[in-house]
Structure 1
Amino acid sequence: MDVTRFVSASGIRAYLLPVETFPGHVNNIYLILDGDLITLLDVGSGLEMSNEGLERRVAEVRERFREEVTLEQVQHVIISHAHMDHFGWTGRFARPGGAEVYVHELDARVLNNFEERLVLASKDLRVFMERAGVKPEARAALEEMYRFSKDFFKSVEIRHAVRDGDRIINGYRVHHVPGHCPGQICLEVEDLLFTADHVLARITPHQSPASITPFCGLELYLRSLQRIRRIEGITVALPGHESPIEDLAGRIDDIVAHHRRRLDRVLDICGEPRSLVGVSRTLFGDQAGYNRILALEEAGAHVEYLFERGELRIANLDEVAREPNPVIHYEARRGAI
């Protein structure tokens, strides 16, 4: 995929820079040129391959589109959300004399106090996996894998914590859309809407339960989709992965329908008591490595949504009351199927 240029109604140029941030994993980083203002939306993972890829894409903008721009000239960096493939190279720009960095207030803590966040998130994940039914030896391996993938980032000082509705840089409007990540934002630049990982063209963004990370979860995600669907005057949506989206409302409707089908499937699976491991395995099959964590979280987000509405109940409540942290088994409430 090559660099692609998009132009807003008044002539703001936005360049989609596809960058391989992890092996086999491509992010769309955006270079926004607005008069004398130079802004990056997301910065990649911080791995050498990602950093070099971003440098090459900016060089491509110079060569193919005759834009006189370098990374050293970037004045503003906007982090769409605090997932490593989007913010990992923030330190390159946040150093003294560098760019002004903006991130939503709910994700600012992740960048400002990353080591603290990693410790707490690892503990929350451990409890989640124990209750899900993951065996002790597998829990230890998955927790180590979770920490290892994030060990190369060090905290950076972020001075610009943004909120929903803020206008930043040159009037760009921030839309807070929690669900996929607590501080996930979309950025409205005239008739261009940068949707980051909130709305993608082909896959549905990963969901994890709020029991692991507050301000995540399917409930908030579905609400956030409807907020974005109501924005008027957007000619194209520019996501953090995959292709641009011309029919944003239609794509949102497809995503909502996908989750409704998955919720129905979870209710069907829980016609008899199931642990979260059992639900995940039925939905996604046996997964290995980090994909096992993702599958458990995705299943957990849907189970949590149904449990909060009383459509699932705990089948082994006596054991849960008696034991310190047992495996929880869920079953559909009679009449919910």
Structure 2
Amino acid sequence: MALLALAPDRDPAAEIAYAAAPPEQDHPVELVEGIWWLRTRLPFALDHINIWLLDDGDSWTVIDTGYGDEATRALWDRMLAGPLAGKPVARVLVTHFHPDHLGCAGHLCARTGAPLLMSRTEWLMGRMLSLDDSGLFVAAGERFDRRAGLPEEIVGQRRERGNLYRRGVRDVPAPMQRLRAGSEIVAAGSRWRVIIGEGHAPEQVTLFCEERNILIGADQILPRITPVVGVWPMTPENDPLGDFVTSLGRFVLLPEDCLVLPSHERPYYGLRPRIADLRRHHEERLGRTLELCGEPATALEVTKGLFTRPLDLQQLGFAIAEGLAHLHALVHQGRVERWTAEDGADRFRTL
């Protein structure tokens, strides 16, 4: 393993500067003293995740674990026998419940005996979804899809897939150590404070070290892409976009020159410009959503106006979730009304 030299690579369009080039996949490198960057594959369009390995001197703290498939389990077995050998993994910290972050936590905790650290809501979501093989789960998805205005053929296709979450997350550890806003941990020789991000996930853990001016930002503030902020069948009335925008205010208070370690893409400088860009993006989306509600429209109709490219079944699910997030934000702001029509689908119209 070798130390990366931080060489900012400026992106003028995004007003950020990337701190380093990506390392070779599955080969950890030391980004800054005591913090190792492991970039590994994902079986999705977003094809990688950044895992952070914090050297605590006599042990390791692992932040996020990758997708719970055989390839990632094999990677962890190689890591434990190779780069991480010689001292134990003392903690496995997972930022949020999504499969690319929590997927291999059960395997890693079982192999090492390390405790799992998460926020309570994220742990509960992961435990619930990983164990739920009930008909109630499928029925909730069907109701959600019909309210969104999806045709019965697509409702049926999505029903047949069942609980996709369980394919990527198994054996979420039953005990865990709870992290909450303001919690502190000592790792890599420094003190880190928990800042909670919302919207993309309900209680996502990010970590800020004032001494080192570094934010481990998870999926909350990515350098180029916008994290999915969506409404889902298990929380069909939520306003996640309102939660997301509100929680961004917690990060504006951090130093402008802090180094951000995101879960996808590359570490970067430029936190405040990136936050401003995310806010602009969603304001533009809200404006377009408002236009699409000039006449009564279903969530599917609005989504097709927001996402004009062809969408496969998986992409359609994410797009519907994001379309609903913008619709619900406008409903909560009193700018759009919603009602359920005789066909069982919700309609939205500008007030």
- What's the TM-score bracket when you normalise by the shorter of the two chains? 0.7 to 0.9
Q: Residue in 1 aligned with 2:156? A: 140
Q: Which has the higher contact order (CA 8 A, sep 6+)?
A: 2
CA contact (8 A) 1:267 1:332 kept: yes
Q: Residue in 2 aligned with 1:174? A: 194
- The code of the aligned residue for 2:156 comes to A
Question: How many angstroms apart in 2 are the aligned matches of 1:72 and 1:126?
Answer: 48
Is 1:236 matched with 2:263? no
Q: Residue in 1 aligned with 2:52? A: 30
- The code of the aligned residue for 1:136 comes to E
CA contact (8 A) 2:73 2:107 kept: no
Q: Percent of aligned positions with the same letter in both sequences?
A: 27
Question: How many angstroms apart in 1 are the aligned matches of 2:44 and 2:324?
Answer: 27
Q: Residue in 1 aligned with 2:241? A: 218
CA contact (8 A) 1:177 1:198 kept: yes
- The code of the aligned residue for 2:182 comes to G
Taking a change above 3 Å as real, the CA distance of residues 118 and 26 of structure 1, as seen in their structure-2 partners, is farther
Q: Residue in 2 aligned with 1:66? A: none
Identify the match of residue 40 of structure 2 among 11, 15, 19. Answer: 19
Taking a change above 3 Å as real, the CA distance of residues 124 and 222 of structure 1, as seen in their structure-2 partners, is farther
Q: Residue in 2 aligned with 1:185? A: 205
Identify the match of residue 206 of structure 1 among 207, 223, 228. Answer: 228
Count of residues paired in the alignment: 316
Structure holding more helix per residue:
1
CA contact (8 A) 2:239 2:329 kept: no
Q: Name the TM-score, length of structure 1 as normaliser.
A: 0.85
- The code of the aligned residue for 1:83 comes to H
CA contact (8 A) 1:18 1:57 kept: no
Report how far residue 166 of structure 1 moved: 0.6
Q: Residue in 2 aligned with 1:65? A: none
- The code of the aligned residue for 1:5 comes to E
Q: Residue in 2 aligned with 1:5? A: 30
RMSD over aligned CA atoms reads 2.6
Q: Residue in 1 aligned with 2:344? A: 326
Q: Residue in 1 aligned with 2:12? A: none
SS of the equivalent of 1:86 reads helix
Report how far residue 126 of structure 1 moved: 2.6
Question: How many angstroms apart in 1 are the aligned matches of 2:145 and 2:42?
Answer: 27
CA contact (8 A) 1:20 1:26 kept: yes
Q: Residue in 2 aligned with 1:247? A: 270
Is 1:288 matched with 2:312? yes
Structure 2 residue runs without a partner (length 5+)? 1-21
Is 1:161 matched with 2:178? yes
Is 1:313 matched with 2:329? no
Is 1:92 matched with 2:107? yes
Q: Name the TM-score, length of structure 2 as normaliser.
A: 0.81
Q: Residue in 1 aligned with 2:289? A: 266
- The code of the aligned residue for 1:21 comes to L
Taking a change above 3 Å as real, the CA distance of residues 16 and 37 of structure 1, as seen in their structure-2 partners, is same
Identify the match of residue 129 of structure 1 among 133, 145, 148. Answer: 145
Report how far residue 310 of structure 1 moved: 1.3
Structure 1 residue runs without a partner (length 5+)? 63-68
Taking a change above 3 Å as real, the CA distance of residues 125 and 168 of structure 1, as seen in their structure-2 partners, is farther
